[in-house]
Structures are given as C-alpha cells and as structure tokens.
C-alpha cells in the first residue's frame, strides 16, 4: 500500500467500511435491520481501525422477518422487537462522523448506496459521502475470477469465512481484510497510486448531499 500512502488525499481519508443486513418485501425496496461500520485510517504502511459501530434496526410493522431470513442471517423478529427504527440508528451513526474526509467502502456498494440514499434525511453526512466498491476493485486486481462475491474473494485470498457470516459486523471485518489485500495488490501491480485513481476504478457517487444545517456532536 506504500504508493497510496504517498498521496496526501489518501493519507488523510478515513475509510468507513459499512454493511447493512435487510429484509426484501415484495414490491418494495429493502428495509435495513442491521448496520455495522468499521472506521480505518492510513497509518504507516496499512489501515488501522479507529472506531466501530453496530446496531440492529426495527423494520416497519408490515415487513415481517421470514423463516429464510432467520436461517440466513440468524436475526429473529424477537431480536428486532426492541431495536430502534432505522432513522434513529442511522442518525446516531451519522452524528459520529465529525472528522472528514471520509470514503464509504462496501462490497457491491450500490446496495449500501441505495439504503443510505433512502434514509438521507436522517444521515446526511453518510448520504453525501462517496463510496468505493471492493467488488469493482477486485475485478481490476483479479481478472477472470470465477466469482466476485465476498465468499469468492475470501477463498481467493485464503481468508477464513467468519462465524456469523451474513451478519453485518463479521461481514465488514472480512471486507476490510479484502480491501487491504486489494489495495496492496493493486499498488504492487502499478494499477493505482492515488485516491483519485481508486475513485476512477471503483468509485460510486452518493445519492444525496446534506443540507446546510447538519448538527453533529461526537467524534468517530
């Protein structure tokens, strides 16, 4: 990752690896039921964790948790019954983002961008932050890979599949490891030296920008 560390913009950016687990009601957009975020900053020759956030979110009353959801994610209706709604949870996460610049990082980041965009009034900073897609990075670094899903990349890099796969925090922890490997390999191959070059390959623009009166009161 050495050449990226020489880029002033990369060196001052906090990378927020983020993942949502959600329910997919018929004919409606996904409803988030869990979010996790892992804040990483460039230090030395790598990315160092400086913060984390994890919380369940109560879906609307007319969006049930199905047996398949429980089987895949291990999240039950009872677990969500005492959770706060997504608007409250994302507002709390957003309030911690007081030390820009940031880049959101996600695997297949358009999914996260869509959920954040639909909640933009509650998380204006998140909604105004550009994303990096590790799936797009992987397609450049590892051309011809059979599967670019997260499990495929974990297998390629020999990263053990975490206990609790398909829960938000385990997923972002391994996504962060994949990100580090992709950045290292891309640097070694001369594919990128700056944050702008990363954006050109795998950047995704935010859906909405914040209004002028965003209030924040806690440092991530």
Residue count of the chain, please give it: 220
Q: What angle do CA 111, 114, 117 make, to 5 degrees?
A: 150
Summarised one tens digit per residue, pLDDT across range 105-154 is 999 999 999 999 999 999 999 999 999 999 999 999 999 999 999 999 99
Within a domain: 131: yes
Neighbours of 53 (CB within 10 A): 19
Q: Provide the residue range defining the domain that includes 37.
A: 2-204
pLDDT band at 208 (very low <50, low <70, confident <90, very high): low
Averaged confidence pLDDT in the chain: 93
Tell me whether the omega of the peptide bond preceding residue 101 falls within 30 degrees of 0, making it cis.
Answer: yes
pLDDT over threshold 70, residue 51 = yes
Within a domain: 24: yes
The count of structural domains within the chain is 1
pLDDT band at 5 (very low <50, low <70, confident <90, very high): very high
Within a domain: 114: yes
Q: What pLDDT, on the 0 to 100 scale, is given for residue 202? A: 98
pLDDT band at 1 (very low <50, low <70, confident <90, very high): confident
Q: What pLDDT, on the 0 to 100 scale, is given for residue 215? A: 36
Within a domain: 209: no
CATH code assigned at 21: 3.30.420.10
Q: For residue 204, what are the contacts with CB-CB under 8 A and spacing of at least 6?
A: 109, 110, 113, 130, 131, 132, 133
What's the pTM value of the predicted model, to 2 decimals? Answer: 0.92
Summarised one tens digit per residue, pLDDT across range 179-199 is 999 999 999 999 999 999 999
Residue burial 93-130, b: 16+ Cβ < 10 Å; e: rest: bbbbbeeeebbbbbbebeebbebbebbbebbbbbbbbb
């Amino acid at each position: 990752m050495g050449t990226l560390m020489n880029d002033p913009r990369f060196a001052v950016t906090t990378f927020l690896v983020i993942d949502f687990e959600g329910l997919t009601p018929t004919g409606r957009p996904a409803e988030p039921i869990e979010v996790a975020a892992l804040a990483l900053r460039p230090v030395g020759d790598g990315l160092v964790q400086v913060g984390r956030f994890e919380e369940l979110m109560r879906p609307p009353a007319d969006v049930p948790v199905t047996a398949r959801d429980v089987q895949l994610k291990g999240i039950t209706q009872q677990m969500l019954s005492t959770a706060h709604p997504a608007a409250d949870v994302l507002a709390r996460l957003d309030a911690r983002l007081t030390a820009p610049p940031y880049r959101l990082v996600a695997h297949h980041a358009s999914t996260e961008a869509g959920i954040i965009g639909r909640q933009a009034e509650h998380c204006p900073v998140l909604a105004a932050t550009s994303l990096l897609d590790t799936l797009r990075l992987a397609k450049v670094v590892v051309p011809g890979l059979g599967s670019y899903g997260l499990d495929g990349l974990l297998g390629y890099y020999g990263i053990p599949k975490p206990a609790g796969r398909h829960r938000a925090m385990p997923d972002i922890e391994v996504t962060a490891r994949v990100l580090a490997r992709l950045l290292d390999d891309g640097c070694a191959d001369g594919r990128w030296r700056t944050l702008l070059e990363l954006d050109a390959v795998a950047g995704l623009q935010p859906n909405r920008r914040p209004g002028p009166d965003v209030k924040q009161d806690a440092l991530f």
